[in-house]
Structure 1
Amino acid sequence: MDDDLADMFPKGFGKQAVQVDKAAIYRRLQRADWAQRVAGLAAKASAGPATGSDDSDLSDDSSDDEMTELPISHEIFLKNHTKTVSALSIDPQGTRMATGSFDYDMNLYDFSGMDMRALTPFRTVEPVEAHHIHELGFSHNGEHVLVIPASSQAKLYTRDGEEVAEYVRGDMYLRDMNNTDGHVAEITSGVWHPTDKNVFVTGSLDSTVRVWDANVRRKQRTVIVVKSKASKGNKTRVTAVNWAPDGKRVAGACTDGSLSFWSTTGPHSRPTQTLATAHAAEDWVSSIQFVDDNTFLTRTTGDAGVLKLWDARNFKTPILQRGGLASAVQQANFALSPDRRHIVLGTSGSPQQAGQLHVLDKSDLSTVAALDFPLPQTAAGTTVGPAAMSVVKVVWHAELNQIAAGLSTGSVHLLFSDRLSKGGAMVVAEKAPKKRHIDDEITADIDLDAAAAAAERMMGGTGSGSGENYSQLTAAQRAARERKDPIKSHKPQMPHEGMRSMPARDHVDKNIALSGMRNEDPREALLKYAKIAEEDPMFFKVYEKTQPKKILAEIEDEPEEAEEREAKRRR
């Protein structure tokens, strides 16, 4: 009896830690195909070794062992975009994630601020109105996000979603692109420098590659004009750029099929290495990634979908290549594993097969794992066809050892392993949901009488339930009643006029000379010169001797009008 009574009382005071059953959580988040695979391996182990096993069984075993080293056993997905997720980035520390989409929005997530009940971004920004986003990239210290929208101007935001800079747009009427301070056509790619946190490079459809200092908005640091050999020196479109790991070279791919390197120290008028037939003409090279200082990979989208492995020391033919990786979205990229042994990329769907996430072995570009994702449903409850689903943007974070994949359905899938991964999605999964307190429910504090009075006022009534006219109350009485009003009492105070964000006014004040004159009172501005004009007239000085007195007769008021004006003045 005493034990039962003791169980009714708390064992301690203060905030009690919530116990989380991690095993149950990870069982619930385990991918269905992985659970089936684990069950099959368990059944195979319980049956014992089979006699007369051939080489194919050995190859299956080795493939299973390799898959266990991949962070693909568990999954969390976020559904906050309405269209294709075309940009994806995670900060180097693995605490925040940024996603961009064809719905024009950039969503910012904080892993430590989410739980399984609230998988929502803490900030949503539209960088450029009615323009989708090509690329997003956190800086090396994670303090800034580089935004490459489908326009000619790159933007820089803080990790909290505040705009820092919008870089200059060039003059579209100048033919020589060396003389323009900024791009004049849509930017397709942008990447931070591998070692310098203040430098990034962009490539554009205006046939230029430009190196920028993040602290200088009005002009780029270096301009590289790409001339196409296939089109006899005319312009071509730059689709992808990236830095070599040492930061001394910039690689760029163009729609004429060429692949080139430029030295950052110059000369910039011609590339140090170029291969005019690296890809087929008009193929869209969506991504370039370096394995080391000399080895790199390129990927083309479209129906062909070719992945090629190159060595810059023998820049004539690729070391390896693989086709059949079609993607209908030009922003589709690929990513390397932290140990540089695997490649992860997404493909588009077909009438028979939905888009998949492929993990390839870098040594021979063979498939190690192909992951499926559930098809979304329409508002009517019908399942979307497999051809409509594509895996577009992928990131394999080195610190977290987790894979993030953005889909054409607007969802972002976070893949991880409960054994191999740390932080990131695991922080979200293991966090206990917030307990709702009675103070969190504001409706519990509403004065029902005040609510009835507010309803009466909205309907044109007296405003107080007691029959008195609200319009006849004094200012103090109105303020006292509004404090009890459940609507007005929770309405935030509007900011002061001078504290509102006015980007257009700020731009004019900073960049246009004498723009402050528009804020002056014109009457006061003229009266400053009244005494000077009287002592030294500029325009009427010639009439000082010929017309020393006014020749215009003064208009006198009629007596009746003067009396009426005097009566109005007295009233």
Structure 2
Amino acid sequence: MDPNRMDEGKSGDGDISSVMGFSGFGKKARTFDLDAIFEQTRRTAIERSQHALEERQKTQKEGGGESSTSVKASIHTQRNKPAAATSRKQESDSSSDSDSDSDSGLIGPPPPPQHTAQHDDDDDEELVGPPLPPGYTGSTAHSDEDDEDDDDDDDNPVKKIPDTHEITLQHGTKTVSALGLDPSGARLVTGGYDYDVRFWDFAGMDQALQAFRSLQPCECHQIKSLQYSVTGDVILVVSGNAQAKVLDRDGFNVMECVKGDQYIVDMANTKGHTAMLNSGCWHPKIKEEFMTCSNDCTVRTWDLNSDKKHKSVFKPRSVQGKKVTPTCCTYSRDGKLVAAGCQDGTIQIWDRNLSVHTKFHCRQAHTPGSDTSCLSFSYDGVTLASRGGDDTLKLWDIRNFRKPVNVATGLTNYFSMTDCCFSPDDKLLVTGTSVKKDEGNGKLVFFDRTSFQRVYEIEVTNASVIRCLWHPKLNQIMVGTGNGLAKVYYDPVKSHRGAKLCVVKSQRKEKQAETLTQDYIITPHALPMFREARQRSTRKQLEKDRLDPKKSHKPEPPVSGPGRGGRVAAHGGTLSSFIVKNIALDKSDDSNAREAILRHAKEAADNPYWVAPAYTQTQPEPVFAEESDEDEEADKEPEWKKRKI
């Protein structure tokens, strides 16, 4: 073969290698025996662990007062050594191979200089392993204590009650009978016996705690229930009339249920309720469906998109098959069951898709004639809590619905909408108590779900506690009272957002206008000489008016008395003085009309102003007849006209 061609091939390979960035062609990558490396690493780790254990035993024998902290730290260090030993072994092998091979034998980019410096520092140190976490101090005593505290909190649900702080929202002066909180916890809506519905925005409020909107959606009807839908975009308003309403987040009307025909006997054949509503709630899964119960002895479900007729009808019945008025209603957590508490003391539960016969029925849940004020399902969907008008709170297992699991008595209830609810962890049950005026304080009572013992109480105010909500996301408790207050209990550590957003905002000062400015009138078709200049800013206009001496001049006060400052007091400043001056002191007698007119004849002749100048050339001189005795006699009535007596 021609040597020149061989030289050209070599030079070509060099050019290609320089262009492509390769150090050569045809060289194989180094291979490692992984099994041997792992075996060597294991042996090294065992030896170092034994050595560290011997040193630790010697140290304990010499100074027996050493704490367990250093022991645990050394164990932690020794546990981290094998991985580091492996890396050091690989580095030593790679360094020996790199020394034997040429620089052109290395595959890939060279290691950064920081990498080599770090390994040099590791060689100088005795401890080998990954760096310790930043919060690690070598001691586990504190972590053990924290774990014990967490265990205590898990065992004792009372410590999770957020009641260290509270804020008070002034709804009005009458009973707050309805509370609603949207799923995100950003807005609260309250309703009461004063027919008002108030909207509260936690993110938009300051320390003044003022509602941003107040309205009366149902005119002169008390608000019975308020609830946000599962998506939080609409609100169900149940009041004392027969038609429920749905409002949007800003309070505008979205839907109003139709009213049924009250002259039809079978309530299933009417399109809507015919009597006062008692309660209502949204479906927990379907955002367009909600339910209401009424004094017409029916429970009806509705579709938000169809306001002409109800969706389905449930008719509670007594033992004799007679009509029974439902006082409260609710869905189960999965939305498959519909429960209603009735005036005869029964609790009746239907399958949502089968409205004829009840699925679960308890005939003597509460005292007959007492209004069951609330039904609430637990988060597991098996347990049902009922708040009765007979001053009791009962816990039921719907799988064995004949008798209650637990009963709490002595809980005074004067309202037909007193709430009960479960805590977010499903371990506590909360309800409110009622009091008469000036006879004590209303309380928020907490019961342990398992033992049903009264584990905690909160004295809210000197009025009844009616509504209560425990929001799972915010971990805050909202309470509605009988004196027009809505209170929010929270904990700065355990709670999130909600009331914590508004208590940190300082109260905004209202800007008071110093002067009243003239309204700006827009006249687009006016001539330029009559067109007013557009007011860019009220503040600039006030500054200009302040510099104007006429507009900023203080008006002179009225002078009273004899006068002061060179000014003479004017008479007739009051109505009485004006009457005295112009009417009472007028001596002229207007009984004779002719004399009253001729009284101004001389002045009119001397100073003609209106009519005389126009007729100076053509107007004849007026000639008036003179009065005589004959005229007086003529004025007298003749004898024959006098009335004869």
Q: Do structure 1's residue 195 and structure 2's residue 285 form an aligned pair?
A: yes
Letter in 1 for 2:511: E
Corresponding residue SS for 2:290: strand
Query: Aligned pair in 2 of structure 1 residues 476, 254: CA closer, same or farther (>3 Å)?
Result: farther
Q: Do structure 1's residue 327 and structure 2's residue 413 form an aligned pair?
A: yes
* Alpha-carbon distance between aligned partners in 1 of 2:182 and 2:527, rounded to the nearest angstrom: 53
* Alpha-carbon distance between aligned partners in 1 of 2:499 and 2:271, rounded to the nearest angstrom: 42
Once the two structures are superposed, the pairs formed by residues 88-127 of structure 1 within 5 Å of their partners are: 88-116=179-207, 118-127=208-217
Deviation at 1:364, TM superposition (A): 2.3
* Alpha-carbon distance between aligned partners in 2 of 1:373 and 1:311, rounded to the nearest angstrom: 31
Corresponding residue SS for 2:458: strand
1:22-59 superposed Cα distances (whole Å, 9 cap, x missing partner) = xxxxxxxxxxxxxxxxxxxxxxxxxxxxxxxxxxxxxx
- Alignment partner of 1:298 out of 349, 374, 386: 386
Match of 1:421 in 2: 495
* Alpha-carbon distance between aligned partners in 1 of 2:310 and 2:399, rounded to the nearest angstrom: 30
Query: Aligned pair in 2 of structure 1 residues 259, 441: CA closer, same or farther (>3 Å)?
Result: closer
Match of 2:168 in 1: 77
Deviation at 1:476, TM superposition (A): 10
Corresponding residue SS for 1:253: strand
Match of 2:252 in 1: 162
Once the two structures are superposed, the pairs formed by residues 199-210 of structure 1 within 5 Å of their partners are: 199-210=289-300
Letter in 1 for 2:426: R
Match of 1:172 in 2: 262
Query: Aligned pair in 2 of structure 1 residues 112, 85: CA closer, same or farther (>3 Å)?
Result: same
- Alignment partner of 2:327 out of 230, 239, 249: 239
* Alpha-carbon distance between aligned partners in 1 of 2:326 and 2:473, rounded to the nearest angstrom: 31
Contact 1:63 1:368 in 2 (8 A): no
Contact 1:110 1:121 in 2 (8 A): yes
Contact 1:239 1:285 in 2 (8 A): yes
Once the two structures are superposed, the pairs formed by residues 78-477 of structure 1 within 5 Å of their partners are: 78-116=169-207, 118-229=208-319, 232-266=320-354, 268-291=355-378, 292-301=380-389, 304-350=390-436, 352-375=439-462, 389-434=463-508, 436=509, 441=511, 443-444=513-514, 446=516
Runs of 4+ in 1 over 4 A off after TM superposition: 61-66, 474-484
* Alpha-carbon distance between aligned partners in 2 of 1:365 and 1:73, rounded to the nearest angstrom: 24
Letter in 2 for 1:278: A
Corresponding residue SS for 2:469: strand
Deviation at 1:356, TM superposition (A): 1.0
Match of 1:18 in 2: none
* Alpha-carbon distance between aligned partners in 1 of 2:188 and 2:345, rounded to the nearest angstrom: 33
Deviation at 1:63, TM superposition (A): 13
Match of 1:55 in 2: none
Moved more, 345-354 or 71-80: 345-354
Letter in 2 for 1:272: K
* Alpha-carbon distance between aligned partners in 2 of 1:175 and 1:308, rounded to the nearest angstrom: 35
1:506-537 superposed Cα distances (whole Å, 9 cap, x missing partner) = xxxxxxxxxxxxxxxxxxxxxxxxxxxxxxxx
Corresponding residue SS for 1:127: coil
* Alpha-carbon distance between aligned partners in 1 of 2:439 and 2:212, rounded to the nearest angstrom: 38
Corresponding residue SS for 1:426: helix
TM-score by length of 2: 0.56
* Alpha-carbon distance between aligned partners in 2 of 1:289 and 1:403, rounded to the nearest angstrom: 16
Match of 1:43 in 2: none
Deviation at 1:239, TM superposition (A): 0.7
Letter in 1 for 2:431: L
Corresponding residue pairs, total:
382
* Alpha-carbon distance between aligned partners in 2 of 1:274 and 1:70, rounded to the nearest angstrom: 34
Deviation at 1:205, TM superposition (A): 1.1
RMSD: 2.9
Contact 1:258 1:279 in 2 (8 A): yes
1:80-120 superposed Cα distances (whole Å, 9 cap, x missing partner) = 3221000001100010000000000110111111011x211
* Alpha-carbon distance between aligned partners in 2 of 1:329 and 1:202, rounded to the nearest angstrom: 19
Corresponding residue SS for 1:178: helix
Letter in 2 for 1:263: D
Corresponding residue SS for 2:441: coil
Query: Aligned pair in 2 of structure 1 residues 343, 107: CA closer, same or farther (>3 Å)?
Result: same
Corresponding residue SS for 2:198: strand
Contact 2:197 2:217 in 1 (8 A): yes
* Alpha-carbon distance between aligned partners in 1 of 2:477 and 2:442, rounded to the nearest angstrom: 16
* Alpha-carbon distance between aligned partners in 2 of 1:167 and 1:84, rounded to the nearest angstrom: 26
Contact 1:390 1:408 in 2 (8 A): yes
Deviation at 1:276, TM superposition (A): 1.5
1:151-210 superposed Cα distances (whole Å, 9 cap, x missing partner) = 111100001111111110110000001100001111111111111111111111111111
1:200-245 superposed Cα distances (whole Å, 9 cap, x missing partner) = 111111111111111111111101122222xx22211101111122
Letter in 2 for 1:234: K
* Alpha-carbon distance between aligned partners in 1 of 2:402 and 2:413, rounded to the nearest angstrom: 26
Corresponding residue SS for 1:285: coil
1:445-464 superposed Cα distances (whole Å, 9 cap, x missing partner) = 645xx69xxxxxxxxxxxxx
Deviation at 1:327, TM superposition (A): 1.7
Compare relative contact order (CA 8 Å, sep 6+) and give the higher one, 1 or 2. Answer: 1
Deviation at 1:373, TM superposition (A): 3.0
Contact 2:221 2:241 in 1 (8 A): yes
Corresponding residue SS for 2:160: coil
* Alpha-carbon distance between aligned partners in 1 of 2:397 and 2:502, rounded to the nearest angstrom: 41
Larger radius of gyration: 2
Corresponding residue SS for 2:503: helix
Query: Aligned pair in 2 of structure 1 residues 262, 476: CA closer, same or farther (>3 Å)?
Result: farther
* Alpha-carbon distance between aligned partners in 2 of 1:81 and 1:475, rounded to the nearest angstrom: 54
1:393-446 superposed Cα distances (whole Å, 9 cap, x missing partner) = 000001000000011010111000111001000001122444x5xxx7352464
Letter in 2 for 1:237: T
Deviation at 1:355, TM superposition (A): 1.2
* Alpha-carbon distance between aligned partners in 2 of 1:126 and 1:296, rounded to the nearest angstrom: 34
Query: Aligned pair in 2 of structure 1 residues 64, 363: CA closer, same or farther (>3 Å)?
Result: closer
Letter in 2 for 1:210: R
Contact 2:327 2:416 in 1 (8 A): no
* Alpha-carbon distance between aligned partners in 1 of 2:303 and 2:402, rounded to the nearest angstrom: 33
Contact 2:202 2:502 in 1 (8 A): yes
* Alpha-carbon distance between aligned partners in 2 of 1:279 and 1:479, rounded to the nearest angstrom: 78
Contact 1:80 1:120 in 2 (8 A): no
Query: Aligned pair in 2 of structure 1 residues 286, 99: CA closer, same or farther (>3 Å)?
Result: same
Letter in 2 for 1:360: F
* Alpha-carbon distance between aligned partners in 1 of 2:204 and 2:530, rounded to the nearest angstrom: 40
Query: What percentage of residue pairs aligned between the two structures are identical?
Result: 35
Corresponding residue SS for 2:513: helix
Deviation at 1:294, TM superposition (A): 2.2
Q: Which runs of 5+ in 2 are unaligned?
A: 1-151, 520-525, 542-645
Deviation at 1:273, TM superposition (A): 2.1
Deviation at 1:249, TM superposition (A): 1.3
Query: Aligned pair in 2 of structure 1 residues 391, 64: CA closer, same or farther (>3 Å)?
Result: farther
Query: Aligned pair in 2 of structure 1 residues 104, 478: CA closer, same or farther (>3 Å)?
Result: farther
* Alpha-carbon distance between aligned partners in 1 of 2:498 and 2:317, rounded to the nearest angstrom: 44
